[in-house]
Amino acid sequence: MSTVTRNGGNVRSLRVLRAGPVSIRISPRGLSVGGVLVLVLVAAMAIHVANGGTPLALLDVLRALLGDTSDSKVHLAVTEFRAPRMVAAVVAGACLAAAGAITQTVARNPLASPDVLGVTAGASLGAVTVLVLAGGGNAGLSGLTATMGMPLAAFGAGVLSGVAVYLLAYRGGIDSYRLVLVGLGINGFAVSLTTWLLTLGDVSSAAQALTWMMGSLNGKDWALVQPMGVIAAALLLAAVFCGRWLLLTSLGEDTAVGLGTRVGSVRLTALTIAVLLASVGTVVAGPLVFVALASPQIARILTGAVVPPVAISALVGAVFVLLADTVSANALSVALPVGVATAVVGAPYLIYLILRYQRRLT
């Protein structure tokens, strides 16, 4: 039925999968990297659940997930506490990484991740505002507001900062340098407002806010993870489809228009999806640093692709956060928030990236 053709005058860059009128461009390396990453992801998910507290045997975890209630304590721990935290890690990692892949491609700059563009800082500002001014996630609020108030505020503020960056950077088009500079400005603005807000609240809500700002997966339950997971899945699908057009914009605005791309609307759509993804990721896990910055570039290097592939980036991000959470929860006698682990890995990477980028410019 379908054939992997290696004709094309044996041009390696032109590998295609054809079946009847359908033809799909493929990269054998991308496919195998993707396959391996899916296996690694499943393994990381299993390890994460098995080690999310008292270590459990993988077989017990699997049995509990499949609905075996013979050991009710294990069943409860796995399905109600560990599984949602595991899903939260996957959602946060995949969303942030996919958002990073898009923003880095649109801005044609490996430094242009949503953390740099102010989206995650804006989302933190929203969350901290609710925590401090409304007296905390649980303290002063009740019912739906307590569980959904902070996530909604984080989501809204994240989207709002994304819109602000876009509008301020827009001058008849989106220039990548302007986008990064305006993003840094909005980022700084949101960070200082957040710091100021922390001084207003009482000690306990400030402490709570600081923990949230570190990026933590502690106590994430299905009430938050389930709706976010559904939204994330829809956004990730849209992001993967968007990737094909983004490839064209990476050739520069003039060439992309020449090839019949509506560059303006493609960029706007892509950035909208990226901002929504980054906001969802931040709502779930707080402003986890470096996931959005590093994962797309790791994915690009692994696949040898020209621009970071969205789906592979999402897989890398999910694995990254799962491993970071497993390590930070178990490595030391005190459980650390996952953001500490991503920062420890990410900071040297950021320095490396900046040094390399600078060398290329000089």
Partner 1 sequence: MSAPSTGGRLRADALTLGYDGPDIVRELSLSVPDAAITAVIGPNGCGKSTLLRGLGRLLAPRSGAVTLDGEPLAKLSTRHVATQLSVLPQTPAAPSGLTVADLVSRGRHPRQKWYQQFSVSDEAVVLDALAATDSLELADKPLEDLSGGQRQRAWISMTLAQETDILLLDEPTTYLDLAHQVEVLELVRRLNRDRGRTVVMVLHDISLAARYSDHMVAMKDGRIVAQGTPAEVVTPELLLEIFGLAAQVVQEPTAGRPHVIPLGAGV
Question: Where along the sequence are the contacts to partner 1 (CB under 8 A)?
Answer: 7-9, 11-14, 16, 18, 21-25, 108, 241, 244, 247-248, 250-255, 257-262, 304-307
Please say which residue, 20 or 143, places its beta carbon nearer to partner 1. 20
Q: Residue 203 has what DSSP assignment?
A: H
Between strands 3-5 and 22-25, the pairing is unpaired
Output the smallest distance, CB 264 to partner 1, in A.
10
Count of all residues that appear for the chain in the document = 362
Please say which residue, 42 or 259, places its beta carbon nearer to partner 1. 259
Please say which residue, 26 or 230, places its beta carbon nearer to partner 1. 26
- Residues 322, 324, 329: CA angle, nearest 5 degrees: 95
Tokens representing residue 213 in the block? 């700002």
Output the smallest distance, CB 189 to partner 1, in A.
26
Output the smallest distance, CB 30 to partner 1, in A.
13
Please say which residue, 204 or 265, places its beta carbon nearer to partner 1. 265
Residue 174 phi, psi (nearest 5): -110, 120
**CA separation for the pair 282, 118 (Å, rounded):** 12
**CA separation for the pair 277, 313 (Å, rounded):** 13
Using the Cα atoms of residue 92, residue 95, residue 98 and residue 104 in order, give the sign of their dihedral. negative
Please say which residue, 187 or 261, places its beta carbon nearer to partner 1. 261
Please say which residue, 196 or 241, places its beta carbon nearer to partner 1. 241
Output the smallest distance, CB 15 to partner 1, in A.
9
Output the smallest distance, CB 112 to partner 1, in A.
14
Report in angstroms the alpha-carbon separations of 156 from 137, 144, 151: 16, 16, 8
Q: State which amino acid sits at residue 263.
A: V
Residue 3 phi, psi (nearest 5): -135, 140
**CA separation for the pair 322, 90 (Å, rounded):** 7
Please say which residue, 79 or 109, places its beta carbon nearer to partner 1. 109
Number of Cβ within 10 Å of residue 47's Cβ equals: 18
Output the smallest distance, CB 36 to partner 1, in A.
21
Output the smallest distance, CB 305 to partner 1, in A.
8
Provide the β-strand partners of residue 24. 17
**CA separation for the pair 131, 141 (Å, rounded):** 10
Please say which residue, 105 or 124, places its beta carbon nearer to partner 1. 105
Output the smallest distance, CB 304 to partner 1, in A.
7
Q: State which amino acid sits at residue 219.
A: G
Among left, alpha and beta (phi > 0; psi -120 to 50; other), residue 298 is alpha
